[in-house]
Structure 1
């Protein structure tokens, strides 16, 4: 694994813009997310409270000899919502999926430059019941916009039990790595519209 930067090596204006969480677990998670996400605490969305909220935007652009002559511009975004919820339920997760679709109606600008938008919900729980694991494992909810010509949006789910070092994540929930503090993060391969120039940091 390549050598990674530490929070102290970030510019002061970036470090100062990241809130501190009283919850030690979420505070450590924010140390991994701060390189790629704009983070907030005590956020409200869909009439619900979220302990941690993050936004990430990536723009990919190809150029023809000069920056003014660009083509194949694409934008990708992720909206991340995380909170403590001691006993999640399948009905509650289904409600979060519905909330994801409501937020998509508000946030997604479906045009030729839109590549993809993710709405990811993370619950930090005390237990991981079998029905929750079964519901989330392999879950995928992807909506194509204008048959894919205007990109897509996706709803992702993660349930993590930090005290027991276990979790379950839906198929496309890459951000789950930031919440599994007991595991090393991976170094991604570079590619078209790679989500991160650098992945999560230890």
Structure 2
């Protein structure tokens, strides 16, 4: 999808399946996410309410002469959770990390076809306290399953302050481009599937 792509260029059935948010910021974010995620609004997960929820699944497979003769299938998924939180705290972020591990226990099926699952939590804030910035900037939480033979899962964090046009993201929180509306989305040099494949295979 080119950087000039607009929601109007998507098939009507995809556009119609995307909710409208009363929150103008999240509604604009959803315009960037709709190309890759199935989106919902006001979703409750793990006892928490999320203004925006998204799921993305990618299947990577190799073929031997014919699609019916495929091998080395790998599945990668991302679950995205975003909500307004005026002044986030480190304690709250630590609770979200714990929630990520709980969801991994519920949702990740560790087998030879599972490559990776990401749980990404986004807090849309009014301010970015220094301790929160420091915690998120240094955060990385990746868990190997059966020494990596059954893939891995990762918990990612992002705190964004739209009014101040600032944010902090953990190392693997690639979704940051969708939430930094004041910056242009990077122009891809290759197809979207190969970009996501590279993202999950690194």
Pairwise CA distance, 1:4: 2.6
| In structure 2, distance between residues paired with 1:86 and 1:65 | 55
| Corresponding residue number in structure 1 for 2:71 | 71
Q: Say how many residue pairs are matched.
A: 197
CA distance, structure 1, for counterparts of residue 197 and residue 152 of structure 2: 19
CA contact (8 A) 1:160 1:168 kept: yes
TM-score by structure 2 length?
A: 0.93
Distance 1:36 1:3, change over 3 A: closer
Q: Deviations over 1:150-191 (max 9, x none)?
A: 100000000000000000000000001100000111134559
Which residue in 2 is equivalent to 1:194? Answer: 195
**RMSD, aligned CA:** 1.8
Pair 1:5 & 2:5 matched: yes
Contact 1:125/1:159, CA 8 A, preserved across alignment: yes
1:180 has 2:180 as partner:
yes
Contact 1:158 1:167 survives alignment (8 Å): yes
The one-character-per-residue Cα deviations of 1:106-137 (angstroms, maximum 9, x if unpaired) are 10010000010000000000000100000000
Displacement of 1:21 in angstroms is: 0.1
SS in 1 for 2:163: helix
Q: Distance in 1 between matches of 2:86 and 2:117?
A: 28
- The CA deviation at 1:78 is 0.1
Secondary structure of the equivalent of 2:196?
coil
Which has more helix, going by share of residues?
Answer: 2
Q: 1:21 is matched with which residue?
A: 21
Distance (whole Å) between structure 1 residues aligned to residue 65 and residue 38 of structure 2: 32
CA distance in 2, matches of 1:194, 1:118: 16
- What TM-score do the two structures reach when normalised by structure 1? 0.93
Runs of 4+ with deviation above 2 angstroms:
187-194
